[in-house]
Amino acid sequence: MIKYTAGAMTITLPESFTYEGERAEFSSSNLSVVYGAHAMPGDDAIGFNLSYEMSGRGSVVNGITVDSYGEVVVYSGPLDEPENYEHFDDAPFDTYFKPPAEFIAGIAIYYR
């Protein structure tokens, strides 16, 4: 399991998943912290982006956060994705992709 903490928020997630015979492996360097659009210094993170490569899909970024009930939510794109990109190729990923349910079930986010 990978454990990564940003301020009061900690995420744990499996080190890999397999999809259609392809294995995606992760380390804490695949995670980046996401703050709210109007965050001030000292504000807590709102979640994380998990960035990785998959052959046949290219670059993938999944936003990971918790909903108001404390349930983990995984998006098929970045958590902080803008509504529009100036150019179609400005996105930090190549394709929308949601990881397998078994991988998502292994993710936990908690606050201290």
What residues does each domain of the chain span?
2-111
* Ordered per-residue pLDDT tens for the chain, 112 residues: 999 999 899 999 999 999 989 999 999 999 999 998 888 888 889 999 999 988 877 888 999 999 999 999 999 988 866 566 555 555 556 678 899 999 999 999 998 8
Query: 71-87 in b/e burial notation, b at 16+ Cβ within 10 A?
Result: ebebbebbbbbeeeeee
Q: Which residue has the tokens 């990971």?
A: 64
Q: What is the value of pTM for the model shown?
A: 0.86
Rounded Cα distance, 36 and 55, in Å: 31
Q: 50, 65 in Cβ contact below 8 A? A: no
